[in-house]
């Protein structure tokens, strides 16, 4: 048996079959892991970048990249999708101390792999982790002409309205139906990857129940 050195071992991930016969691997983005963020940004067209970051020509400054990579598995969760061993998309949720029951969602898929179901798979992964972490509501902000995102949000039951030139929406957290990922595998990997996975899941008193 060949034992690969640690540095060359592929991180644990969840395999996701895509509708066109391809395969993606999903895993949590580790705290401080900036490389895949830069790779995904590099694979996005100017239009995709503008849709993701809601400004004309977004730049990933060092401080911004560090903030995007500062995941903790609980308040800030990001999952990476890879195709053929290359970063292909990232979805995240962020919640704040002021409103820890609501998770703000954001995601991006490199242009080469858009329309293959990666967006839905990533969204399913982060909302599944959000649900087990006690999140009760989800929120998102998108450009009005961003049809793919509006499709994704509608699948989560999020209706949007104009706020200051962009569309904003929020809704009780509802998981995608049908599932796009193996949720048991996602939750198991999320637990294994959370820094102190011996801690119980977050149990703040959020109203309502996630479905
Ligand atoms: C939004 C985004 C993540 C979707 O990723 P994706 O992998 O292409 O999405 P999927 O293949 O899972 O498709 C999701 C839905 O959008 C639809 N869709 C995807 N691309 C589309 C397009 N160009 N036009 C219309 N609908 C589209 C799909 O048909 C699907 O809807 P359905 O399930 O009802 O058929 C991707 O387009 C992207 O990265 N855009 C730039 C960044 C961005 O807009 N981020 C969101 C704001 S934070």
* 211 occurs within a structural domain: no
Which residue of 45, 48, 107, 119 sits with most ligand 1 atoms within 8 Å of its CB, as the best mutation to test the pocket?
119
* 33 occurs within a structural domain: yes
Distance 106 CA to ligand 1 centre (A): 12
Query: Domain span at residue 146?
Result: 13-193
Residue having the nearest C-alpha atom to atom 4 of ligand 1? 119
* 100 occurs within a structural domain: yes
**How far, in Å, CA of 161 to CA of 181, rounded?**
29
SS (H, E, C) 1-67: CCCCCHHHCCCCCEEEECCCCCEEEEEECCCCCCHHHHHHHHCCCHHHHHHHHCCCCCCCCHHHHHH
Residue having the nearest C-alpha atom to atom 3 of ligand 1? 108
* 40 occurs within a structural domain: yes
What's the pLDDT at 6?
54
In 3D space, the residue among 91, 129, 125 whose CA is nearest the CA of residue 108 turns out to be 91
What's the pLDDT at 209?
42
**Domain total in the chain:** 1
Distance 149 CA to ligand 1 centre (A): 5
Q: What is the CATH number of the domain that holds 31?
A: 3.40.630.30
What's the pLDDT at 151?
95
What's the pLDDT at 200?
45
**How far, in Å, CA of 155 to CA of 36, rounded?**
27
What's the pLDDT at 10?
77
Distance 145 CA to ligand 1 centre (A): 12
What's the pLDDT at 149?
97
* 180 occurs within a structural domain: yes
* Residues within a 6 A CB radius of ligand 1: 48, 51-52, 106-109, 114-120, 142, 146-149, 151-152
Please tell me the number of Cα atoms within 13 Å of 169 on its side-chain side.
21
**How far, in Å, CA of 24 to CA of 18, rounded?**
7
* 198 occurs within a structural domain: no
Backbone angles phi and psi of 118, in degrees to 5: -70, -40
pLDDT tens by residue, the chain, 211 residues: 555 555 557 789 999 999 999 999 999 999 999 999 999 999 999 999 999 999 988 899 999 999 999 999 999 999 999 999 999 999 999 999 999 999 999 999 999 999 999 999 999 999 999 999 999 999 999 999 999 999 999 999 999 999 988 999 999 999 999 999 999 999 999 999 987 654 545 555 564 444 4
Nearest ligand 1 atom to the CA of 146 is 44
Distance 209 CA to ligand 1 centre (A): 27
What's the pLDDT at 84?
97
């Amino acid at each position: 048996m060949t034992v690969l050195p640690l540095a060359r071992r592929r991180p644990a991930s969840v395999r996701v079959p895509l509708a066109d016969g391809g395969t993606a691997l999903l895993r949590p983005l580790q705290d401080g892991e900036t490389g895949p963020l830069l790779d995904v940004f590099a694979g996005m067209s100017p239009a995709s970048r503008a849709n993701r970051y809601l400004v004309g020509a977004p730049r990933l400054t060092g401080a911004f990249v560090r903030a995007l990579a500062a995941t903790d598995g609980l308040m800030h969760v990001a999952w990476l999708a890879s195709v053929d061993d290359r970063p292909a998309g990232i979805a995240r949720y962020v919640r704040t101390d002021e409103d820890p029951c609501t998770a703000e969602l954001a995601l991006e898929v490199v242009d080469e792999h858009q329309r293959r179901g990666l967006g839905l798979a990533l969204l399913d992964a982060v909302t599944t982790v959000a649900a087990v972490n006690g999140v009760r509501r989800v929120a998102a902000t998108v450009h009005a002409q961003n049809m793919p995102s509006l499709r994704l949000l509608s699948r989560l039951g999020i209706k949007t309205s104009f706020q200051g030139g962009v569309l904003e929406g929020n809704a009780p957290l509802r998981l995608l139906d049908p599932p796009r990922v193996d949720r048991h595998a996602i939750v198991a990997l999320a637990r294994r990857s959370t820094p102190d996975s011996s801690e119980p899941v977050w149990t703040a008193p959020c109203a309502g129940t996630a479905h």
